[in-house]
Structure 1
Amino acid sequence: MLQQILNHTPTYVWAILAFLLYRGVAARKDRVLSYRSVFIIPGVMLVLGGQSVAHGFGLETAAGVAWVLGMLAGAGLAWTRSSPVTVDRAAGVVVQRGSWMPLTLMMTVFCCKYAVAVALSIEPALCGDLRFALPVCLGFGLINGVFLGRLLRIVGAWHADRSALIA
């Protein structure tokens, strides 16, 4: 059965995995990123999470609401728990501290998304089972929210630095 699952996995899924691994391993070291590039991983993770909820359960369902609520909770946690952000508007860069957290979160989303896709392909009725859908969507939302909250911290620091330059 595992071989069947792997054989039916589209090639692009492995490309996404490779990209996420690359970015996650890079995130373990302190790095200087352009302001624009800090939007890439949160954007990818939000798309992956939203796509899973939309295609698997529907955004207009209770599962979609659970995803949004999870995102709000995750963003709030990340906002209050994230490390300070250093920005250099003149250079157009953000200094991010190294952490294994992004890799852990990305692999969690990838593995959960993969497992949910397999589960739904084996048992399509699960998409209507709230005992399955609500925790899955809440979990996706929490993790997506952490990425969103970290991004909002960077955006906030970027704009705070701008107002300091204006004053």
Structure 2
Amino acid sequence: MLQQIVTHTPIYVWLLLAFLVSRGIAASRDRVLPLRRVFVIPAVLLVLSVQDMAHRFGLDAAPVLGWLAGASAATLLAWRATAPAQVDRAAGTVLQRGSWLPLALMLATFVTKYAVAVACAVRPDLAAGAGFAATAGALYGVFNGLFVGRALRCLPRAAATPAHINAMS
């Protein structure tokens, strides 16, 4: 059965996995990024989550409310747990410290979405259940919120730090 699942997985899914792994490995090293690039992975994962929820469950109350609860809690958690970023307003850049956490979160997001897809393919009746839809939505929301909360930590610093101070450091 596992072999059938893997062989019936569309090629674009494996390409998405390769993209996420490459971005996760890049995030393991310190790097300076344009401020707008900090939001690329959170935006990609948000679009993929909303698309998956709409496709599998419809945008009904259960998955959407699950997503909102998960995303809200995780955004707040990530906001509190993430150190403020070093922002150079004059250059419009952010120094992101290397961490393996983004790779782990991207892989967890991928595995969750893959597991939901396989579960719905094997047992199509699961998609009709509000509990399954809410749980899947909540998990998607948690992962989205963790990425969004981390990215948002760059904004207050960018808005509050005078450009001439960052230029001198």
Normalised to the residue count of structure 2, the TM-score between the two structures is 0.90
User: Structure 2, unaligned stretches of length 5 or more?
Assistant: 165-169
129-138 or 1-10: which moved more? 129-138
Partner in structure 2 of residue 25 of structure 1: 25
Match of 1:136 in 2: 136
| Range that drifts further, 50-59 or 87-96 | 50-59
**1:28-43 correspondence runs (5 A):** 28-43=28-43
Q: CA deviation at 1:165?
A: 4.0
Q: After the TM superposition, which of the residue ranges 44-53 and 90-99 deviates more from structure 2? A: 44-53
What are the within-5 Å matches in structure 2 for residues 150-165 of structure 1? 150-161=150-161, 164-165=162-163
Counterpart position of 1:123 = 123
Deviation at 1:93, TM superposition (A): 0.9
1:58 lines up with 2:58 in the alignment: yes
The residue identity in structure 2 corresponding to 1:105 is L
Query: How far 1:105 sits from its partner (Å)?
Result: 0.5
What letter corresponds to residue 55 of structure 1 in structure 2? Answer: H
- 2:100 maps to 100
Mapping for residues 62-73 of structure 1, pairs under 5 Å? 62-73=62-73
Q: Which moved more, 1:93-102 or 1:128-137?
A: 128-137
Quick one: which amino acid aligns to residue 27 of structure 2? A
Structure 2 CA distance for partners of 1:26 and 1:165, relative to 1, 3 Å: closer
Amino acid at match of 1:95: L
Partner residue of 1:46?
Answer: 46
Q: Which shifted more, 51-60 or 91-100?
A: 51-60
Structure 2 letter corresponding to 1:149: G
* AA of the residue aligned to 2:129: D
> Is the 1:70–1:145 contact (alpha carbons within 8 Å) kept by the matching residues of 2?
yes
Deviation beyond 4 Å, 4+ runs, structure 1: none
Distance 1:60 1:116 in 2: 17
How far residue 16 of structure 1 moved from its aligned partner, in angstroms, is: 0.6
Equivalent pairs counted in the alignment come to 164
CA distance in 2 between counterparts of 1:112 and 1:46 reads: 14
RMSD: 1.5
